[in-house]
Amino acid sequence: MSAATETQAGPSSRIVDLLDVERVRRDFPILHRTVRENRKLVYLDNAATTQKPQQVIDRIVRYYTEENSNVHRGVHYLSEVATAAYENARTTVKRFIGARDEKEIVFTRGTTEAINLVAQTWGRKNVGAGDEVLITAIEHHSNIVPWQMLCDEKGARLRVAPVNDAGEVLIDEFQKLLTSRTKLVAFGHASNALGTINPIRKMITLAHAASAVVLIDGAQGVPHLRVDVRELDCDFYAFSSHKIYGPTGVGVLYGKEAILDAMPPWQGGGDMILSVSFEKTTYNALPYKFEAGTPNIAGVIGMATAIDYMDSIGIERIAAHEQNLLHYATKRLLEIDGLRIIGTAAEKACVISFVLEGVHPHDIGTILDEQGIAIRTGHHCAQPLMMRFNVPATGRASFAMYNTRDEADALVAGLEKVIEVFR
């Protein structure tokens, strides 16, 4: 299995037995509903968001039924219970990504907010006129626009490392773009549009050799790969709960303690302060300095439950199952006349972007939807990448731990129907 990428190697990699997909499916109630005209749901839009297991749903219900209270402020019983659950979630996240300390885990609204936080605090303090921020050609808009905004404000320059025709970052070019002007380097762990898994360990080492700070957009990393931020040695790592079977509206910014500590706060308000007078405010310690206002408590607790759920299955087992599906679905899709896969990197997450000759992706999406098959069509928040591959849009099937070979077959049958309509 090619899931054994550099980020998965290490002490935890071992031969694993197969994931029991039928058992996993039983945990996800939505997978058993029908859509449109009594069609069985085939959900292949997991790169956009994953479905939630009953365990996560139940935990959120339990929080609101039995524990709801504000955190870090009450002396009463419920506030203690809610605060404990909220802070335990931080420990769960810390363990999940191998951080050294809870202080390094900042809860945000998601990946987008985490990246904006870094751009607006670390970025505004450390990036100046003439400096450069380096990204790659396969970034999601949320790892492009915050840096563009920062560079515009500071008179800095955004540089973009190109990719080859397979959708892999050209490491030589990447390295050439690293200079003494490079203050920050930001790139995805895996691409949501093409599936490419970047050789992030190597890229981090190269960036550090140029004395740049590194942010990893892990939105598509944590769902599929074991992440160990200390082993990776990245300075920041951002991800979203809703792509790892947790609720929407919550995510994580990991940052090395020393770096977070030196950063100015972002939003002002409650929780992020120690004391306030009209003359002077003293900011709270990490990570609270970056968590102004009442947080998404139920969301954070739900995210931790989702992490526990993934751990109970085992990330290696999930990865192996998804790699299996990737190879099977790729092979089946290539049997279709006129179908071309965009993104053929050697290391890929289970994301397949494709175009079908003579049929626009939007029409493909509608005809598949009529059969109960949910895929994403469009530019996948990566317009510059679509231009690079000279396509206005693609269809994208993205798989998760609960998808099956039967569903890959259903996709192929659905695409054959598309061809029939357009013939």
Partner 1 sequence: MSDLRELYQQVILDHNKNPRNFHELAHPTRTVDGYNPLCGDHYTIFVEMDGETIKDIGFTGNGCAISKASASVMSSTLKGKTTQEAHQLFDVFHKLVTGEPSSLSTAELGRLAAFSGVSEFPARVKCASLPWHTLNSAIEGDKEVVSTE
Ligand X SMILES: Cc1ncc(COP(=O)(O)O)c(C=O)c1O
Catalog residues that contact partner 1 under the rule CB under 8 A. 358-363, 366-367, 370, 377-379, 383, 386, 392-393, 417, 421-422
Binding part of the chain for ligand X, among 94-102, 138-146, 321-329, 335-343 by CB under 6 A, reads 138-146
Pick between residue 69 and residue 380 the one whose CB is nearest to ligand X. 380
* C-alpha to C-alpha distance for 234 and 217, rounded to whole angstroms: 11
State the nearest-atom distance from the C-beta of 289 to partner 1, in Å: 36
* Contact of residue 393 among partner 1, ligand X, none (CB under 5-8 Å per partner type): partner 1
Contact present, 201 and 77 (Cβ < 8 Å): no
Contact present, 131 and 183 (Cβ < 8 Å): yes
State the nearest-atom distance from the C-beta of 354 to ligand X, in Å: 18
Contact present, 420 and 38 (Cβ < 8 Å): no
**Nearest 5 degrees, angle CA 250-CA 254-CA 260?**
120
Q: Given phi > 0 = left and psi -120 to 50 = alpha, else beta, which region is 122?
A: alpha
Footprint of ligand X on 213-232 (CB under 6 A): 217, 219-220
* C-alpha to C-alpha distance for 111 and 2, rounded to whole angstroms: 27
* C-alpha to C-alpha distance for 308 and 96, rounded to whole angstroms: 9
Peptide bond into 287 cis (omega under 30): yes
Pick between residue 76 and residue 423 the one whose CB is nearest to partner 1. 423
Footprint of ligand X on 177-216 (CB under 6 A): 188, 192
Binding part of the chain for ligand X, among 60-68, 110-118, 129-137, 150-158 by CB under 6 A, reads 110-118
State the nearest-atom distance from the C-beta of 394 to ligand X, in Å: 14
Pick between residue 371 and residue 394 the one whose CB is nearest to ligand X. 394
Binds ligand X by CB under 6 A, chosen from 51, 92, 112, 196: 112
Residue 65: C-alpha distances to residues 76, 78, 79, 207 (Å): 17, 11, 14, 48
Instruction: State the CB neighbour count (10 A cutoff) for residue 386.
Output: 18
Catalytic residue among 151, 234, 350, 381: 381
Footprint of ligand X on 237-266 (CB under 6 A): 240, 251
Amino acid at residue number 308: D
Binds ligand X by CB under 6 A, chosen from 53, 110, 246, 302: 110
* Contact of residue 392 among ligand X, partner 1, none (CB under 5-8 Å per partner type): partner 1
* Contact of residue 271 among partner 1, ligand X, none (CB under 5-8 Å per partner type): none
* Contact of residue 100 among partner 1, ligand X, none (CB under 5-8 Å per partner type): none
* Contact of residue 140 among partner 1, ligand X, none (CB under 5-8 Å per partner type): ligand X
Amino acid at residue number 268: G
* C-alpha to C-alpha distance for 378 and 43, rounded to whole angstroms: 17
State the nearest-atom distance from the C-beta of 142 to ligand X, in Å: 4
* Contact of residue 328 among partner 1, ligand X, none (CB under 5-8 Å per partner type): none
Q: Given phi > 0 = left and psi -120 to 50 = alpha, else beta, which region is 306?
A: alpha
Q: What are phi and psi of 308, to 5 degrees?
A: -60, -40
Q: Does 136 bind ligand X (CB under 6 A)?
A: no
* C-alpha to C-alpha distance for 248 and 115, rounded to whole angstroms: 17
Pick between residue 43 and residue 63 the one whose CB is nearest to partner 1. 43
Residue 17: C-alpha distances to residues 115, 214, 358, 407, 408 (Å): 36, 35, 42, 22, 22
Q: Does 344 bind ligand X (CB under 6 A)?
A: no
Footprint of ligand X on 43-62 (CB under 6 A): 47
Pick between residue 56 and residue 418 the one whose CB is nearest to partner 1. 418
Q: Does 142 bind ligand X (CB under 6 A)?
A: yes
Has 381 been annotated as catalytic? yes
Pick between residue 159 and residue 376 the one whose CB is nearest to partner 1. 376
Pick between residue 350 and residue 419 the one whose CB is nearest to ligand X. 350
* Contact of residue 366 among ligand X, partner 1, none (CB under 5-8 Å per partner type): partner 1
State the nearest-atom distance from the C-beta of 65 to ligand X, in Å: 27
* C-alpha to C-alpha distance for 205 and 234, rounded to whole angstroms: 9
Q: Does 345 bind ligand X (CB under 6 A)?
A: no
Contact present, 350 and 323 (Cβ < 8 Å): yes
- What secondary structure does DSSP assign to 312-366, as a single string? HH-HHHHHHHHHHHHHHHHHHHHTSTTEEEE---SSB-SEEEEEETTB-HHHHHH
Interface ranges with ligand X (CB under 6 A): 47, 110-112, 140, 142-143, 188, 192, 217, 219-220, 240, 251, 381
Active site residues: 381
